[in-house]
Every structure is written in structure tokens, then in C-alpha cells.
Structure 1
Amino acid sequence: MRSREPVPFQFDSSRYTRFVSLTERATNGPSIQFTTDQDWSVLVEAHAPGVFRLRIDTTAEGETTSRAARPSSQRYELLARDEAIGEALFEAVDGGFRLTQGEDVLNVLTNPLRISLSRKGVPVLTSIDEPELSAFGVGGLVGDDTQDREWTVGFALQEGEAVYGLGENVYDLDRRGEVLSTDDAAARVLPLAWSTRGWGVYVNTAGATVHNVGVDAAAGYLAGWRDINLDVFMFLGDPSEILNQYSQLTGRAGQPPLWAMGAWVRQARGAAPELAVDLAAQLRERGIAFDTVTLDTPGAWDVRSRLALEWDGKRFPDPRQLLGNFKRHDARVVLPGFPGVLQSSTMFEELEDKGWLLTDATGGAHAFPGVAATGGEAFGLLDLTHKDVWTFWRDKLRQFQDDGVDAVACDAQIEMPDDIVGRHGDSASRLRTAYPLLVKRCLFEAASWNKTPAEGVVLSRDLLPGAQRLPWQAATPVANTWDGLIESIRAALTVGSSGVPVHMHDVGNPDMPTDALTPELYLRWLGAAVFSGNLRLQGSPGLLPWDFDEETQAHVRTWLQFRYRLIPYVLGVIEDSARTGLPVQRSMPMAFPDDPDAHKYGLQYLLGPALLIVPIVQPGTTVTVYLPKGDAWWDMSTGWRYEGGTTWTIEVGMDRLPVFGREGHMLCLGPAAQHTGEFNSARILDEVWLFGMPIHNPSVMRNKIRVMQMQGSSYVKGLEGLKILPSEGLEVKRRGAEVRISRAR
């Protein structure tokens, strides 16, 4: 695999000034305000329990600001909750002051400005405070763009301290030793960083941002960005607390529909839409369970005459009939869409005159070179920073939902030259982040507009601030090799560690050679994907289930049947994400921050709260398993119980994966099905597996199963009519609607 090479930090310290002193101005509720040497306003705030905020406003008091001069976080609504809900005790200390929230303390020194955070008296996060890096405490300098300033903050890291989050990485969960820039689309950056020491940092901006994670000689975490204001949130707590507070602050995901939880399949590259109908028919005939077909680019429609979105008549001469053909095979349809207008279209000039397209230095609409979504034709981009344009595109997309389209796939992150400008003066560096955010929100509103609660799917690979609000992160393209399998797992775990709840896994990549994709690798890949947020098969030659032998096909059918049985649990975990902010797939550092031995097993993960998954990522039937401390674990294949904090070597055949149930939890399974349309909404569950004496309420979709303990037994309500498989040493007794689980006598 490719190694990571450190990149020098991108910011020149000589261009920054450090705030020499702050003058206290006012105390208001949970916050205290200061004035800097530059007469800027500084707000230090106990924003929420375990959350502190540092904000520097460079706008003069009483000055009115245009929309273009507002902080990017306000313009793009990056915060779901801007007002503070915390409470704090303020007291003066030598050289500064202290804010105390229960066990959490923020110390602020004001000459120069530095901070330190502690929990239960233990220092957790401090500013870098070295003379040669004085600019990296907190500083700012007016840039060439009068709307923006350049900011940098720096926090000290301990020797060997790992840093997690910050977006997708296929090489390592630990981001230390990397420099990540939002201006580099390949860097796949997200704004939350955290450590198992108990801190998290979120830079609240859509401006161009660079994260330097321990590359500088000071071995600190440095963040630099361009925006009008400085706005940084600091969290205290274990990873689950940090993600909980982060998602409350920045917004949580909407719900996916039930059909999205079934297996997906992607149309072969370049195949006609009618052939995708044939693919759906073959899958049904062969008994391979699936729900959804995604069609290939280019986009299925375009903005043409009369300011309407019109179907591509060449590829879709009768779209309603085509969609009806899919429905006859109980298949949902996801079509590619794109907010572009072909330069050859009659509407390009008209929309340019209306000011509805992104412009360049000439003042005219910029013509982007062709991409897959436009079939290689040059195009202009609808300026979705313009409210009228955004509303127009959203409302037109709803028409296709009415035609029978179930969802839209759109990767809007394209190469934007530096001279691109939006309606309100948005620069290219800001649009690189903001534009795909606006696209995804628009698509989700179009899909969920008539559903309560909001429910829909937006299939996209774009990563950006606010990505955690929208369910369904598309899979990471990797090679069809064992290393590719490893990279796909790491991508899901790092995106989840950055706050995104659901990451899809593609079983194979049609754009890469398939020579190394043996039946063994295919089944190991499929087995891991079954225990994930969701999965997609490939409809391309060399990747179809029937391209392998009969035994392999039988295993494929078995794995997919179990995936459908898992749907009530996985969807329940996703629904829990809307309350906790935790992802479906949880890395070992996230799930077990106090067990450093677990952190060494970077490819193991928790699926929700109850299941420990050990993917098999190399040829053979032998795998080493580490069972984390603090819990006992039950082998789902054998029913054997293992103590936590132990390591085992296990033999596994091609028909199973090492999966362990966490003691005190239960797994609620649905019936076997070929698609979610076969589910009985009145009886979505079929049986329950117990992992020792149940203590915790289970994760179950749209169901309320409650566990209560009394006198050494557990009493469970909500299991009426279900088969219950107890662990060894337990007995089950039913009393009407209540189930009693006790030790066997």
C-alpha cells in the first residue's frame, strides 16, 4: 500500500499577528466578551455541557454586513444550534479567567490569548505556546480578499497521541502525520478532530481550511482557514460524548426509507437502461435478494427549453414505461442527476442572462469541461447560492419523484478554477465546499418533501461540513484486491469517526481490473459488506454473482438472505444515530477509548452497540480476534462465551465471519426476504438472539422493546409472538405480553 509522506505546513507564520492582550467587556449568561488590540470582539462561551466556544468577530459593532460578508457558517447554515445552552461559573485567575461547567474547566490567559481545557482536574487540551510558533496560538491577518481573513489555531499533542476524524482515509485510522486541505478534493476532509484523551475540535467554517496533524516540529494539531471570523468549538468527553455533542451542534441525519436498507446493484458501465431491467429480472430468477438498481451516468435529464428539467429523450424515450418495468420486478430506481446546463443547450445563454449560472472573471457564465455526468459535453453550473435557483432545481426534481424515480445520485464536487464566483461573491475556495453541500440539501428536500418525519436518500461521495445531516455516503472506489477490501473498510470507519452515520460498501469496482477477484475474496468482501450500513453489488462482467461457480453463488444467496434478516437491527441503529450521532460502523478507538489493546486491531469494528465484526482480509480460514475489555462476548456461530481482554485464533469457513454479540445485548432479526416489499409492516421481527442476560434495550427499527431488571431477572416487553434464542444458562418464560428471562435452575 502507498505510504503517507508528511507535507510541510501551508501557513507562513510571518504573515500572522498574535493577539497581544484582551480587555474584558461584558459577561452575559454562559459567555464572557473581550475586545482585542484590533477592537475586534472576542466571545468565550460555555456553549453546552462539555462544549466550549471561542469566536472572534472582526465586524465593527453596529456595522451592517451584506450576505457576502457574513461568516460562511451562517451563510450555509452549518450550525443546527447557534445559541448557547450551557451554564458556567466565571472567576478571575492570574493572567486571565476560568469557566467551570461541572467537572469541565476552560482556562483562558489573555496576554497573549491561550487556552487550556481539563476534566476532573486532568489537563486534556492546551494551546501550543512556543515562541517560534507564537502565531499559532490564535491569530489573524487581513488577506487580499476584504471579505476574509486568515486564521490559525494550534493545540499541543502528547508524544504518540493519535488523532481521529477529519474525513476519509483508506490507509490509517490515525490522522497524525498528515496535512489535509479542503481545497484538495482528493483529501476528502471533514472538520471534526478528536482524541481518546478526551478532546474534540471543530473549526466552524466553509472557507478553505488546512489541518496539519502533528507534522510541524512542535508536534501539535494546527488548523488554518480563511473566513471573516474565527469560530472554534472544543469538546470534552469520550468519543461517544463528543460525537453526540458535535451532531447536536451541527445537525443529525434524516431517516432513510425502508427500501434503501435492502441490497443495491449498479448497472453495467455504458449499458442501455433497458439492459438494467434485464439485470433486475435475472437477479430475481436466480433468487439473489436485492431492492434497488442504480443507473449509470450521464444524467437522466437536463435543463432545456421553458426552464424545465426534461428527460434525455435518446436514452429514455418512454421513462414512465421504463420505470414501470423496474417496478414489475419489485426494483427501486436511482437515477443520476446533475445541476448542470449543457453549453450546447438553448437555455445556456438565457440562464446566463438571468444570472442563474456560476460566473468567472469575465463576468459571463463559466463553461466547465465535460464530465461523466454530462456525457463529456461542456456545461454551466446552476448557481445554487442563488435562492431562486436552488428552489427551482428542488421543485423540478420533485417532478421526477412523481414520475417514479426513487432517489437521485449526484457527485457535484468538480474542479472549480480560482476565478469562479457565485451570486453573492462566493469565491471558488468557498464554493468547493459549499456547492456540493447545497446540492445534497436540495436533493434531500426534493426526496423528503411529503414525508413526516423527513425521509430520503442522497447517494453521493462528496464529503463536506454538514455531511452528517444527510444519510447515505456512497462507497469509496478501490481496487478489486485484498488491499482494496482493507481500504474500503478503513474508509467507512474513518468517515464514521468524522460524524457521518452511514457509509455504503460496493462489492467490487467495475472501473478496475477483476483478475485478482477470486471467489474467496468476493465472498469475504460480501460478508463484510453484509455487516455494514449497506452494500451494493455490481452488474458488470466479472463482478456478477453468476460469474462465479455454483457453490459461490449459493453462499451469495445465503449472505444476502442474512442481510435482509439484519435490516430491523441496522435500521434501528441508523434511527439511533439521529439521537446519539454515533455511526453504524464504530472503530475500536471510538467504541473502546480506554482499551489501547483494542486500538491495535484497526479493521475490527462494532456494528451498532451489540455486534463485534472481524472482517477477513487475507486468504485462508484462520483469523486472529481481539475481544475488548469490559464485556464478555458470545460467538454467534457457536454460542460460546469468551471473556473480554482476550485474543483468539479462530477457524472460519467461507459461509461465515467472526461475529460476536456483546453481553447484555440482544439482536432482533427479521424474516428472510427477496426484497423489503415482502416485509410485513405489522410483524417486522421474526426472532431474538440473547447474548447473556439482557440489560440494554435493543436497537430495532420503528419498534419499542424495553428491558427492565428486577431481582436477578430481566423482564422484556415487546417480544410477543417472537422466537427467542437464549444464551446457555438462561431460561425464558412468557407471561402474557411480558417475557421473563432468568438464570436456569
Structure 2
Amino acid sequence: MKFTDGFWQLRPGVEALYAQEAYDIWHADTSADGEALVVTAPTAVIAKRGDTLNRPVLSVTLSSPLEGVVRVRIAHHEGGAWHGGFELTGAAQGGAGVGTITDQGGVLTTGGLTARVTPGAPWNLSFEVDGRRVTGSGHKAQGYIRLSPDAQVDPGIVRNARAGVEVPRADTFVHEQLDLGVGELIYGLGERFGPLVKNGQTVDVWNADGGTSSEQAYKNVPFYISNRGYGVLVNDPGHVSYEIGSEAVERVQFSVPGEVLEYFVIAGPTPKDVLSRYTALTGRPPVVPAWSYGLWLSTSFTTDYDEATVTSFIDEMAARELPVSVFHFDCFWMREFNWCDFEWDPRTFPDPDGMLARLHEKDLRVSVWINPYIGQRSPLFAEAAAQGFLVTRPDGSVWQWDLWQAGMGLVDFTNPDATAWYQGHLRRLIDQGVDCFKTDFGERIPLEVDYFDGSDPSRMHNLYTHLYNRAVYDVLVEARGEGEAVLFARSATAGGQSMPVHWGGDSTSTFPSMAETLRGGLSLAMSGFAFWSHDIGGFEGMPDAAVFKRWTAFGLLGSHSRFHGSSSYRVPWDFDDEAVEVTRFFTHLKMRLMPYLYQLGVDASRTGVPLMRPMQLEFPDDPAAAYLDRQYMLGGDILVAPVFSDSGEVEFYLPAGTWTSLLTGEKVEGGRWLRETHGFLSLPLYVRPGAVLPWGARTDRPDYDYLDGLALRVFPGGTGAAEVAVTTPDGRSQTFTVDRAEVTE
């Protein structure tokens, strides 16, 4: 949100009170983080005693919840309402910081990160990583903002309560501005479909169902990474507004409504180090089952289908040697207007128990679509309303609207009994044979409501999806065990990475939408999410054969792969014979890569580093990689450049060294841009110099014994020994030491 009118003036109706000096600094103990430094920051320079009267101050508290992380809390009125931050599952008991105060000011040190407050005026709070200043808060950076009723500011969000994207009006805000250095670039802030580099953008953290072609996002995460070796998480699940070099072009500004702003500075020095610390604080991704890496085939959304249709799809895929691991039933597995009642529509699925058993006999897992809404016609609506399981209006009536499902209500996951009731219906489906759930929606969350636990609705708008997905994920862990639970979720916020997998939402069936989908996935990876997927071919509309084939290659070179659409099936023979061949080729390739991919997932559970990596994450010291958002690294060793054109032409960048085409074996010198033309059975797919790829022996399934028939493919360009770990789906692990001089490729 923009509060100023240029460098000198404020917008009409805006009053800004800035921290002007560090008046005094003292030690304190906080209940959360242990040792802390507290700074009194008056909103005017105190020259004489009388200046302390009638003068607002900002109380700034520095502490550390985890080594390498500094918590900064800025409060105007400490007694003012603060709806609390995110669940910090990795916070250290007693904190991790050491504070010192001298004539030179206050210093809080935690690991390699130092926060330093200079006494007196002007206000100066700086952050250093390994002794190098990376950013700071200077003059007119920390501010308490008051708005008059007619203030001319734009909240940045479309005011449409019916669509669930309206933000609450606020009269006061707290903001911080952190310096942007020359050449400094900002990444992250959730799954955002615009340019990967966020400089120059206004970003509002406020979940919305806006599709992939808008500035709105399903997965808003108030966390960003700088290429200067640090990250910043705003610890607020509510509306956070960012101006990334877009108001004060030398700074990143973030603001929240109310009296308190809390944020964390997270040390690197590398982007991977930042992600590792961030996910240690907010939650690491678990290991997901090997079978989930295989191809997911869907009924699509509004298509007509029954068991015969499903069986024909599966049998035709098998006849064409197209291995399918998961079959997904979308919305209409339930009767229309009844979503959700968790009952199979008896008109099309008269024998669900038998059908699920027959699908399991075909060695398939089964996924079904759910959402957190209960339509008025659902038999469960009256039951949930009577027991107080639905979100209510302030007058006590059940909140309802007709957008999506007629008269639908919203399950109140702040009520433990409502959560248990919802989970009970899921347990029944799991007992029936359902293996996993697609947790759709969770973004259209209203504001004029009351929650069972008294939660602030503005906090719950973004956080609701976390409670919803947690309720579902916990049931799967309970039923299937650790390492076997997996979701297919659309919405998320900070911490959502601990409940994978997430997919990219509603795209259109075009090359530009394919490209924006990739940008969204790369942005999400820079926000701490290790696993990600998308609708191969696009969701809305029917892709032409070229788009489908190019998207298939792209979709099968990621952690999770799903054919899904809106009003048309996504079986490859509906496009042309070559689409079948493309699907077979890239599905088989992914199966051979499973020892590599599964190990990346195991490693992600320990480090938080994603499988699909922006080039900037893997090559932070290569300036040519800074803006790249049409290619990515699949793990640390495979470069993928999807083709986004009818012609097959693709332009991409290879970092320095001798790279090898995984498909042809051709050796190519990097450190330069290349332009190539590829047929549908090909794309730029290059192996990093010196890489050793564990190569599986099977092409028919993802969950096999990777050690049986394993090959270790050694690529040129490396020296010395490499250690390669391979973990099997049943948990056995073996590490191989390989001499890179013994090149096999």
C-alpha cells in the first residue's frame, strides 16, 4: 500500500509518524525468545525533557527464535490487538540470540547474523550476515500510519466481498522499509504468476481464487529472498501489503493494519541456506510416497464419467504402455448441489466399494476431490449447522452464499469438534479405499463472520487454508503413516509446505499460460515449497495438440505430474498419435529418473531445498541467472528448458562448463545463451558438468526397488570423488562413492 506522494509528501489523508532515533536500549527477557534488546524509538528527536511529552514512540524489540534468525517487533501500542503470527514449529526453546549494549549501541547476535542499532538520530537498524551488511532500516523506514476516513490510498485488492477478496478497512498501519542495494533482487512471496523478480511490483498477501493469469494468488506467503544473502518473513497471517522498490525505489516496504508489525530477518549467506533456515522455523516438507511421483490421470471437472469411463481410460493407458499411478475423481463423484456430502453419486457409481477394490487390483491409488464448503442441499448441512460446525455471522446465523455451491456454508476448523466431524467423513472414505485427497479451494473466506475460537476474521482469511489442509493431512498420516500421506492442494500460506503436494490452480490451455504456470512454480519454490504440480495441458479450454504435447514434456519433468482439465478429457489419444508417443517417452523417462527424484524428496525433508529450483537458487553467483524464469533446475544436476512455441524454437541459458544432453549425449559448452529447435519428443534437457545420476531400471512404475539394476551415470566436467545417495521407497538407503574421472556418458 502506498502512503507517500513522492519523496517529500504524504498522500492526502495520511499521517505518518516515523522512528527518528534510538533514544535508549535495554536488555529484556521475552517469553518466546529469551534474551532480547528493547529500543525506545520516539517519533521526533528528543532535544529536551519537554520533547518527551505528548509524543508517540515505537517500541522495537529484537530477539532470536532460532540461530541465524532475528525477530523484529515494532509496536505503537503494545496493548493494542495483535492477532498473532504463524505457528513457528522450529523455534528454539529459550531463544538463540545474545545481546550486548555499549556506547556504540545495541547488538543482537545469533549465529552468523547480527542486528545492530545505532544510538541517537537518525534511526538506524542494520543487519549483517557474516560481518557484511546486507540490509537495514533507516530514516523514515519504520512508521506508524494513521488514515483519515477520506484518505487517498489504494489497498491494492479488488473490493469484491462476493468473491471473497475484500480486505478489511483499517485506520492505522505499521510499516517497515528495508534497504535495497544496487543490483539487489527480490524473489518469493508465494506462488505468483507475474515476473519472477519482484522488484517494481506491488504485492498483496491475500489469498484469492483468481486463476493463473492475474495478479491474485492462491498461495500467498509473506516471505521473500534477496540475492544479497538473506530472507524476510512478515509474521502476520493477515493482509500484508508490499511495495518492492515500487514506492520508495531504494527499499522494500511491507505494512500491516493495526498497532504491531513483526518480521524476521533470516540469514544465508546462500539462497539455499535462507530456505533451509526458513523451513526449519516454519515447517519442513515431509517425505511423500514414491507412488505419488507417477502420473495422475483425472476424470477432469465437468465431463461425463462413470466407472465404465474410468475403466476404459485406465485400460487404454495400459494398452499403450502409459503407466498411471493415481486415478483422480473430480467434483462430480458426488451428486451435483451436494458438495460436499462425501457420498458417491449412486446414479453413476452404484458400487463404490467394489469399484475402488477393482481399481486397486489394477495397482492404482485413488484420489478424490473435496472442499471445505457444505452446500445447503447436502444432508450434512443441517447436521453441521445444528451442532455449530459452520462459520456464523455476527448475529449468530450461519454464514451462507450461492457462489460455487447454492447456499453453502463454511466448516469452522477453529472448532475442534467441527474438525473431528469433518475428519470422520474422510476416515470413512479412507476405509472405503480412497488413498489421498485433492483439497480444492480454501481461498474464498469471508470477513463479516465469527469463528468458534474468536479468531480475527482478517487473520483467518489466509490462515483458513492451513487449518483445512492440516485437518485432512493429519487424517492421512493417521491412516497411512508418515511417508505415505499426500495431498493435492490448491491454497496455502506460510507453513503450508509441511503438507504437500500443491498444484498451480486454474490455467488456460495456451503457451502463455504454460509459461505463467512455470513462473508460479518457481516463485513458490523460492517461498519454501519443495513439491509442486500443475494441470498438464491447462485447465480452462481444450489445448491444441502442440500445447498438450509441449506441456506434457514440461509436466513430467517435475516432482508431480497430473493430466486434468475443466470440460474436456486429458487422455493423450484425444489429441493425436504423437501425443501418445510423447506421453510414453516422458513418463518412461521420469520412471528411470525416480532414484534421483525420490532422493531429492528425501533430502528436501532434511534441508527444505525444493526439487524444482529456479536458476537463481542453484547458481546464485552467476548474474546471467538472475532473471531467468523460462527454465529451471530439476534438482541440482538437470537443467530443463520447456518449449513454449508452436515452432519448437526455444532460447535458454547454460551456465559455465561442459553440459551433456540427457536425450542425445551431445556435449555443449555453457557460459552462454543457446537457441535450439526441438521436435515434440525433445526439449533442452542438460546434465550439469560432473554430475553422477542414479538411473533406475524400470519404466513401468515409480515405486520400485531403485537399487535393483541401478546404474550410476557419470557425466564429464567434474573432478574427484562424488558421493551419491539412493533411498528406496521402503526406506533402505545406500551411498556410493564414484570417481568422476571414470566418465560413462
| TM-score category (smaller protein) | 0.7 to 0.9
Matches within 5 A, 1:420-431: 420-431=449-460
Task: State the alpha-carbon separation in 2 of the partners of residues 404 and 165 from structure 1.
Answer: 38
Q: Which residue of 2 aligns with 1:688?
A: 712
Amino acid in the other structure paired with 2:673: T
Task: State the alpha-carbon separation in 2 of the partners of residues 672 and 323 from structure 1.
Answer: 26
The one-character-per-residue Cα deviations of 1:17-39 (angstroms, maximum 9, x if unpaired) are 33455543425565323466679
Residues 1:622 and 1:41: Cα distance change in structure 2 (over 3 Å): closer
Kept after mapping to 1: 8 A contact 2:135/2:181:
no
Kept after mapping to 2: 8 A contact 1:336/1:408:
yes
Q: Which residue of 1 aligns with 2:156?
A: none
Q: Which residue of 2 aligns with 1:33?
A: 38
State the Cα distance separating 1:399 from its structure 2 match: 2.1
Of residues 518, 542, 546, the one that matches 2:573 is 546
Classify the secondary structure of the residue corresponding to 2:465: helix
State the Cα distance separating 1:656 from its structure 2 match: 2.2
State the Cα distance separating 1:202 from its structure 2 match: 0.4
State the Cα distance separating 1:182 from its structure 2 match: 2.7
Residues 1:294 and 1:110: Cα distance change in structure 2 (over 3 Å): farther
Task: State the alpha-carbon separation in 1 of the partners of residues 342 and 552 from structure 2.
Answer: 38
Of residues 366, 372, 394, the one that matches 2:423 is 394
State the Cα distance separating 1:569 from its structure 2 match: 1.5
Of residues 159, 163, 174, the one that matches 2:186 is 163
State the Cα distance separating 1:665 from its structure 2 match: 2.5
Is 2:572 the partner of 1:567? no
Task: State the alpha-carbon separation in 2 of the partners of residues 622 and 353 from structure 1.
Answer: 60
Is 2:266 the partner of 1:257? no
* 153-162 or 260-269: bigger deviation: 153-162
Q: Which residue of 2 aligns with 1:180?
A: 203
Kept after mapping to 1: 8 A contact 2:612/2:634:
yes
Matches within 5 A, 1:612-627: 612-627=639-654
State the Cα distance separating 1:255 from its structure 2 match: 2.0
The one-character-per-residue Cα deviations of 1:526-547 (angstroms, maximum 9, x if unpaired) are 2222211121124765743112
Q: Which residue of 2 aligns with 1:736?
A: none
Q: Which residue of 2 aligns with 1:238?
A: 270
The one-character-per-residue Cα deviations of 1:717-744 (angstroms, maximum 9, x if unpaired) are xxxxxxxx9436xxxxxxxxxxxxxxxx
Q: Which residue of 2 aligns with 1:442?
A: 471
Kept after mapping to 1: 8 A contact 2:207/2:491:
no
Q: Which residue of 2 aligns with 1:216?
A: 247
Task: State the alpha-carbon separation in 1 of the partners of residues 574 and 192 from structure 2.
Answer: 31
Residues 1:625 and 1:344: Cα distance change in structure 2 (over 3 Å): closer
Kept after mapping to 2: 8 A contact 1:632/1:641:
yes
Classify the secondary structure of the residue corresponding to 1:449: helix
The one-character-per-residue Cα deviations of 1:544-575 (angstroms, maximum 9, x if unpaired) are 31123334422321221111112222121122
Residues 1:454 and 1:639: Cα distance change in structure 2 (over 3 Å): closer
Kept after mapping to 2: 8 A contact 1:507/1:522:
yes
Residues 1:427 and 1:147: Cα distance change in structure 2 (over 3 Å): farther
Is 2:322 the partner of 1:288? yes
Identity %: 25
Amino acid in the other structure paired with 1:108: V
Q: Which residue of 1 aligns with 2:231?
A: 200
CA RMSD of aligned residues (A): 3.5
Amino acid in the other structure paired with 1:18: Y
* 458-467 or 657-666: bigger deviation: 657-666
State the Cα distance separating 1:284 from its structure 2 match: 1.7
Q: Which residue of 1 aligns with 2:630?
A: 603
Is 2:84 the partner of 1:53? no
Give the paired residue count.
Answer: 685
State the Cα distance separating 1:267 from its structure 2 match: 0.6
State the Cα distance separating 1:505 from its structure 2 match: 2.9
State the Cα distance separating 1:584 from its structure 2 match: 1.2
Task: State the alpha-carbon separation in 1 of the partners of residues 476 and 666 from structure 2.
Answer: 45
Task: State the alpha-carbon separation in 1 of the partners of residues 616 and 330 from structure 2.
Answer: 37
Of residues 123, 135, 155, the one that matches 2:133 is 123
Of residues 310, 325, 350, the one that matches 1:276 is 310
Task: State the alpha-carbon separation in 2 of the partners of residues 655 and 146 from structure 1.
Answer: 53
Classify the secondary structure of the residue corresponding to 1:491: helix
Residues 1:301 and 1:25: Cα distance change in structure 2 (over 3 Å): farther
Q: Which residue of 2 aligns with 1:343?
A: 376
Task: State the alpha-carbon separation in 1 of the partners of residues 371 and 3 from structure 2.
Answer: 36
Amino acid in the other structure paired with 1:265: L
Task: State the alpha-carbon separation in 1 of the partners of residues 170 and 89 from structure 2.
Answer: 20
Amino acid in the other structure paired with 1:455: E
Q: Structure 2, unaligned stretches of length 5 or more? A: 43-55, 150-167, 211-215
Kept after mapping to 2: 8 A contact 1:44/1:53:
yes
TM-score normalised by length of structure 1: 0.83
State the Cα distance separating 1:161 from its structure 2 match: 3.1
Q: Which residue of 1 aligns with 2:357?
A: 324
Residues 1:404 and 1:433: Cα distance change in structure 2 (over 3 Å): same
Amino acid in the other structure paired with 2:37: I
Structure 1 outlier segments of 4+, above 6 Å: 6-13, 36-41, 57-60, 140-149, 301-304
Task: State the alpha-carbon separation in 2 of the partners of residues 279 and 170 from structure 1.
Answer: 32
* 413-422 or 380-389: bigger deviation: 413-422
Q: Which residue of 2 aligns with 1:735?
A: none
Kept after mapping to 1: 8 A contact 2:639/2:687:
yes
Q: Which residue of 1 aligns with 2:221?
A: 190
TM-score normalised by length of structure 2: 0.83
Amino acid in the other structure paired with 1:277: T
The one-character-per-residue Cα deviations of 1:556-605 (angstroms, maximum 9, x if unpaired) are 21221111112222121122111111111111122111111122433121
Kept after mapping to 2: 8 A contact 1:614/1:658:
yes
Task: State the alpha-carbon separation in 1 of the partners of residues 515 and 740 from structure 2.
Answer: 40
Amino acid in the other structure paired with 2:705: S
Matches within 5 A, 1:294-313: 294-298=328-332, 300=334, 310-313=343-346
Q: Which residue of 2 aligns with 1:137?
A: 142
Amino acid in the other structure paired with 1:402: D
Classify the secondary structure of the residue corresponding to 2:331: coil
Task: State the alpha-carbon separation in 1 of the partners of residues 509 and 342 from structure 2.
Answer: 37
Kept after mapping to 1: 8 A contact 2:535/2:564:
yes
Kept after mapping to 2: 8 A contact 1:7/1:178:
no
Q: Which residue of 2 aligns with 1:719?
A: none
Residues 1:330 and 1:227: Cα distance change in structure 2 (over 3 Å): farther
State the Cα distance separating 1:461 from its structure 2 match: 1.3
Classify the secondary structure of the residue corresponding to 1:453: coil
State the Cα distance separating 1:510 from its structure 2 match: 4.4
Task: State the alpha-carbon separation in 1 of the partners of residues 469 and 393 from structure 2.
Answer: 23
Q: Structure 1, unaligned stretches of length 5 or more? A: 1-5, 716-724, 729-745
Task: State the alpha-carbon separation in 2 of the partners of residues 599 and 699 from structure 1.
Answer: 30
The one-character-per-residue Cα deviations of 1:491-518 (angstroms, maximum 9, x if unpaired) are 211111111111113221342243xx23
Task: State the alpha-carbon separation in 2 of the partners of residues 478 and 177 from structure 1.
Answer: 25
Q: Which residue of 2 aligns with 1:379?
A: 408
Amino acid in the other structure paired with 1:381: L
The one-character-per-residue Cα deviations of 1:281-317 (angstroms, maximum 9, x if unpaired) are 221222211111211215748999xx99655444543
Task: State the alpha-carbon separation in 1 of the partners of residues 350 and 128 from structure 2.
Answer: 65
Task: State the alpha-carbon separation in 1 of the partners of residues 452 and 271 from structure 2.
Answer: 39
Residues 1:554 and 1:689: Cα distance change in structure 2 (over 3 Å): same
